Amino acid sequence: MKHNYLNLGCGNRFHNQWHNIDFISNNSHVKQHNLLKGIPFQSNFFDVVYHSHVLEHFSKKDGEIFINECFRVLKPNGILRIAVPDLEMIAREYIKNLESALAGEVNAKHNYEWILLEMYDQTVRKSSGGEMMNYLTKKEIKNEEYVFQRIGEEGRHIRKQLQAIKNNNGFLDQLKKLIVQIANGNMFISKKKRAYYEIGKFRMSGEIHQWMYDRYSLTNLLLQCGFMQVEVKNAFISKIPDWNSFELDSKDGVVFKPDSLFIEAVKKQ
């Protein structure tokens, strides 16, 4: 029997005893649904609602609507657990690396360049992967340990995948792009208009970050939406029973997204 637990925007990380929802589903255990249109369950239904690195992809206004939906579908005393990129941590790393770079410390320049990408790239990029993809596909990453400390062991896997894709670029990829252009009906418009179209389509795809949160702003949002007992956690500690057994934030002691702010709140009775 499934737990009365809900994982929203789950991607490829889900537990088959939970209810799992994502915008696109590639697995029978994941229900496909556009979360901008609400959560497709009745009120007061779940004991737990969880989402990781989802909220920042909504606009500030849509994020508030989304959190209110989480509140609605939770039972009284139900637990909401959220993981988002930690703006405070990124800002502190930026200041630290800026000061180190100005002091001429070894590797500080590279760490400074990376943390700027963490801060801005997924907000301003105009195509999938952005400058972070370019950084991760470099032949040599001089501050490799720092980068993977920031983005986790997932980053090593992503680097391998991106390098494989980069190495295989060529005629077949260009042919695929041409087919997509024809299918989208934008083959015969000007180069400038086609660029506008592609940028706009990408910006609406859901990949970019539309807002960022720290422990202060996210706490205030949760309180504003009616939650109580808001607490900052870590990847391993939760009010959710047997949390670590689900392997959603970590596995075998390894945190999937170490750049995260983990926070939990309880729905009022």
Question: Two tokens at 226?
Answer: 């009616």
- Angle among Cα 71, 61, 225 to the nearest 5 degrees reads 25
Give the C-alpha separation, 91 to 95, whole Å. Answer: 6
Residue 71 has pLDDT above 50, yes or no: yes
> Which whole-number Å values give the CA distances from 25 to 1, 21, 34, 124, 189, in the listed order?
21, 8, 11, 27, 33
Displacement of CA 201 from its chain's centroid (Å): 19
Residue 199 has pLDDT above 60, yes or no: no
- Write out pLDDT tens, residues 172-187: 455 445 445 444 544 4
Displacement of CA 30 from its chain's centroid (Å): 17
* The predicted structure's pLDDT at residue 190: 60
Sequential DSSP letters for 124-145: H-SSTTHHHHHHHTSS--TTHH
Give the C-alpha separation, 71 to 65, whole Å. Answer: 10
Tally: H helices and E strands in the chain: 9, 9
| Residue of 13, 205, 51 whose CA lies nearest to 122 | 205
Q: Which long-range contacts (CB under 8 A, 24 or more apart) does 141-148 make?
A: 142/107, 142/110, 143/107, 143/110, 143/111, 143/114, 146/107, 146/110, 146/111, 146/114, 147/114
- Write out pLDDT tens, residues 82-129: 999 999 999 999 999 999 999 999 889 999 999 999 999 989 988 888
| Domain positions in the chain | 5-86+213-267, 88-167, 170-203
**Class of domain 5-86+213-267 as given by CATH:** alpha beta
User: Torsions phi, psi of 27, nearest 5?
Assistant: -150, 145
Q: Which long-range contacts (CB under 8 A, 24 or more apart) does 163-167 make?
A: 163/137, 166/137
Residue 238 has pLDDT above 60, yes or no: yes
44 pLDDT band (50/70/90 cuts)?
A: very high
CA atoms within 13 Å, Cβ hemisphere of 83:
23
| Residue of 65, 102, 55 whose CA lies nearest to 210 | 55
CB-CB contact of 234 with 83 (8 Å)? no
- % the chain with pLDDT above 90: 66
194 pLDDT band (50/70/90 cuts)?
A: low
Give the C-alpha separation, 198 to 223, whole Å. Answer: 39
- Write out pLDDT tens, residues 138-152: 888 999 899 989 988
Separation of first and last alpha carbons in the chain: 26
For the entire predicted model, the pTM comes to 0.85
Residue 11 has pLDDT above 60, yes or no: yes
Reduced DSSP (H G I as helix, E B as strand, rest coil) percent helix, strand, coil of the chain, to 5 = 45, 20, 35
